[in-house]
Amino acid sequence: MTFRARHLLGIEHLAPEEIRTLLDLAETYVDLNRRTIKKTDVLAGMTQINMFFENSTRTQASFELAGKRLGADVMNMAMSQSSVKKGETLIDTALTLNAMHPDLLVVRHQNSGAVDLLAQKVNCAVLNAGDGRHEHPTQALLDALTIRRAKGRLHRLTVAICGDIAHSRVARSNLILLGKMENRVRLIGPPTLMPPGVAELGCEVYDDMKAGLEGADVVMMLRLQKERMDGGFIPSEREYFYRFGLDAEKLGYAKDDAIVMHPGPMNRGVEIDGTLADDINRSVIQDQVEMGVAVRMAAMDLLARNLKAARGAEAAGVMV
């Protein structure tokens, strides 16, 4: 078993072996979560603080549930209504919380790199729950677990990620993870929503759904991030749906057994046809939510083990 990371800031810093370790552990939590009694005590006595500078319902609920099922004391802080409004800087907020001795800090922030910055200033384990357009590691890990369970493997698959790539941290983390696990990644979207130079990161770029979906094993749709649109990326939602929205016809270009994924929340009729999203034979969207809790439990479990080991070593006077 290998997992050395002190924080989970991004997929970029994880080795393939660490990803495998985490997913294997998550499998055991999937089983636990399906029982009536879902509680363990691996985080008993530890404090988890969820700091969401950007509003979130699903991710925050998932982290909260994960922490509670592992026995941690969980506190949620809705940062958008707090002292940040009074002008406190990110670092001061972090130092204030750090003084309360949390063990796990789950952070979402609207700026890329903000969670990295915060992690430098605290002495607990930090989990990135999404920073700007940079990374959203637990989303990529839960997607990986979903794919692995549906397809029986997490390598040599053709995965098409479609939609608003430019504004998506989910796309970046998935691109990196799927690349590390030796899959073929295609990005499909209008050029206005494609980050420049992304082809150099080892993926294929398409602006046509038919060509891009040809032979895909996995079709991953992204939400059109309306709140991030500072104007004029697409002519209209209806043209976007016509050209890039996933419906039964476009899905027909992919393999017959291709699965459909979406990180949620969905804009039905904008990037995905509602009927397709609900099709239990193709859509694994609900599985993704279930895997989310298990993957976050695994991540916090592993980070807590490393944290305890590091603190134990520190107490014994050993350099780590």
Partner 1 sequence: MTLYLSDARIVDPAAGTETHGNIVLDGGVIAAIGDMGPPKGAEVIDCRGKCVAPGIVDLGAKVCEPGERHKESFRSAGLAAAAGGVTTIIARPDTLPAIDNPETLEFVTRRAAEASPVRIRHMAALTKGREGREMTEIGFLMDAGAVAFTDCDHVVTDNKVLSRALSYARSLGALVIGHPQDPGLSKGAAVTNGKFASLRGLPGVSPMAERMAFDRDMALVEMTGARYHADQITCARTLPALERAKANGLDVTAGVSVHHVTLNEFDVGDYRTFFKLTPPLRPEDDRIAVAQALASGVIDILCSMHTPQDEESKRLPYEEAAAGAVALETFLPAALRLVHDGTLTLPQLFRAMALNPARRLGLPQGRMEQGAPADVILFDPDAPFVLDRFTMLRSKSKNTPFDGARMQGKVLATFVGGQRVYAADTVAQAGG
Residues that bind partner 1 (CB under 8 A): 12, 89-91, 109, 111-114, 116-117, 131-135, 169, 172, 195-198, 200-201, 230
| Residue number with CB closer to partner 1 (72 or 141) | 141
Please give the Cα distance from 29 to 169 (Å, whole number). Answer: 25
Q: Would you list the DSSP string of 257-268?
A: T-EEE--S---B
Give backbone dihedrals phi and psi of 176, rounded to 5 degrees, phi first: -70, -45
| Runs of H (alpha helix) within 72-133 | 90-98, 114-119
Side-chain half-sphere of 145: how many Cα atoms within 13 Å?
29
| Residue number with CB closer to partner 1 (114 or 254) | 114
Q: Which amino acid is at 75?
A: M
Please give the Cα distance from 157 to 86 (Å, whole number). Answer: 48
| Residue number with CB closer to partner 1 (167 or 250) | 167
| Residue number with CB closer to partner 1 (200 or 256) | 200
Task: Give whole-number Cα distances, 156 to 179, 182, 199, 258, 314, in Å.
Answer: 10, 6, 19, 14, 42
| Residue number with CB closer to partner 1 (90 or 124) | 90
Q: Which two tokens stand for residue 77?
A: 């802080």
| Residue number with CB closer to partner 1 (16 or 195) | 195
| Residue number with CB closer to partner 1 (133 or 250) | 133
Please give the Cα distance from 245 to 247 (Å, whole number). Answer: 6
The alpha carbon of 54 is separated from its chain's Cα centroid by a whole number of angstroms, namely: 15
CB of 109 to partner 1, least distance (A): 7
CB of 268 to partner 1, least distance (A): 27
CB of 313 to partner 1, least distance (A): 25
- Based on C-alpha coordinates, what's the Rg of the chain? 20
CB of 113 to partner 1, least distance (A): 3
CB of 318 to partner 1, least distance (A): 27
CB of 134 to partner 1, least distance (A): 3
Task: Give whole-number Cα distances, 242 to 76, 234, 238, 271, in Å.
Answer: 40, 12, 6, 9
CB of 138 to partner 1, least distance (A): 16
Residues 40, 67: contact at Cβ < 8 Å? no
